[in-house]
Structure 1
Amino acid sequence: MAMDELKKAYETLGLPENASREEVEKAFERVLRKSRSKSAGAESGETEYEMKLRAYKTIVEHEERSKINEMSRKRYDKWGKFAGTAEKIDDFFRLYRTHVIISVIAVIVLVAGTVAFINHREEQKRLAALPPVDLSIMFVGNYMSDQNRGGDEGLEQAMTAQFPEWKRLEVLLTYLPPQGQGVGTTDIAYQQKAMAVVATETPDVYILDENSFKWLGGGGVLEPLDEEAEGVLKPLLKEDSLVKGRTEDDTEDHIYGIRVSDSALAKELPLAMDDMIVTLRIDSKNKDKALHFIERYLEPGVSAK
């Protein structure tokens, strides 16, 4: 790989050439978030995203090749002039082992693919028999459903019971580790999963904690609620209920979330949580129902029991 190409890749991501892998991951995370913003559908936005994706791959592939070259250097330091022979022996066993593993994987994939196809058909039949979704909700943050009360399915059922006028709520729980703690391999895996889910799913409502609001709020994916806060929601709001923020294109703060952590309905949920901020997606297909959801959670003394 030409060094000019690598240098250009760092420049494309807005990074210096000595940027750490962590800085590269954070830069690409911002790209992912921006790709889900309101302007992500524009052709220029897609082109910019693809360009930055290629830059990210270029940097990662360069790092992987550097690791391989370092392993070869260490092998030479150990074996000297026999390094080539040692490498061939290593490659032979690696190739032989790879063939065996690939054969086993092929069988597993074939069986799993057959089972997955059958399960997919059954799941499609089940979903087709269900009533239409009244409201889709995604929790993103330090949330954990109560396994003793049905886990994620129990949470969905509990929230549906709070709105008897609706037939079906769709609830997805996405765990995002809290900040301010040591970041381990597991935390990174959860963060990457959360990035992938947010980039592909399109719920009507996001329910966030303080950490995930800071993470998601600046990406342009949330609907400003200034008008609603001064209109339909105003009689139910307290000053500390308003959660403000700004996107990269904003010059001033706007209301993007409503905090309902103290709601009687929130406390009834089979859910471990520190905070609960309700926000709307910019392209919510059920905005009226999303606002009704917020109203119900803000109403004093309301309980599903």
Structure 2
Amino acid sequence: MIQTAAKDTCFSPRQTLCCPGGRLLDLRQPQVMGILNLTPDSFFADSRVASHANHTDLLRRAEAMLKAGAGVLDLGAYSSRPGAEDISAEEEQRRLLPALISLRETFPEAFISVDTFRASVAAEAVAAGADIINDISGGTLDEAMFATVGRLRVPYVLMHMRGTPQTMTQHTDYANDMVVELVRYFRDKLVAIRAAGIVDVVLDPGFGFAKTPAQSYALLRRLGELQVLGLPVLAGLSRKGMVYKSLGLTPEEALPGTIALNAIALLNGAKLLRVHDVAEAVQTVQLVSQTYPSPTP
């Protein structure tokens, strides 16, 4: 649901994100975030958008997602799959900015999130029309990120990860209860985030990021425990290894499993589903909401 506040000012409750122009993204009811990858090496090949100068493929996919009910489009130019190639900020911007500008011009009312852990890329993205910054590193890979997002006055997705996309599989040992550690991680990060002036925050527990499949399933079972922090939670489960590897399948075969896990996430309080397959996720949200009008436990 899109609401509009005053043109230059915006006060939003914790379950509503205030975006540029005073537009409000209402997360009191779950929304779907559609993934658009500008990378040549994302783990799910069908999510990769062809890099044509006129962005025909990108715009076609974005239109289909919006028509299917996507509340947000998430645009990324740096692959965060395990062991992904590390590219420069300049290359990330080269991939990202022309596509973002085209997307904003074509769909002026759409909510657009940019998936980046670099403050310089975040600043350029917001200047080019991005509404939300989605940071897989939670500010750990660029110490300027919190101050930059605070200055930009846009919502921020705070994810939990250890290490980098290249090393995160080496950081799956947790000395204490993992979910308790995540709550403490978010609590401590929120102190710094509030000090930087960031108002609207979404928590992403980072399924598969520095977590084994078994740890990710344990996290999914206990996802509701993050509600103690009083902020909306994003679940990014779509076609991940915890789905297809557990079933002995490929990412291309993992849609049914994704739907099942998305339903579990909703029942445990998720307010934003980050997915490759928007129509199926929207239907999942609708059916869970009809069965459990207030899906939060």
* Fold equivalence (TM over 0.5): no
Larger Rg belongs to: 1
Higher helix share: 1
**Shorter-chain TM-score range:** under 0.3
TM-score (norm 1): 0.27
TM-score (norm 2): 0.27
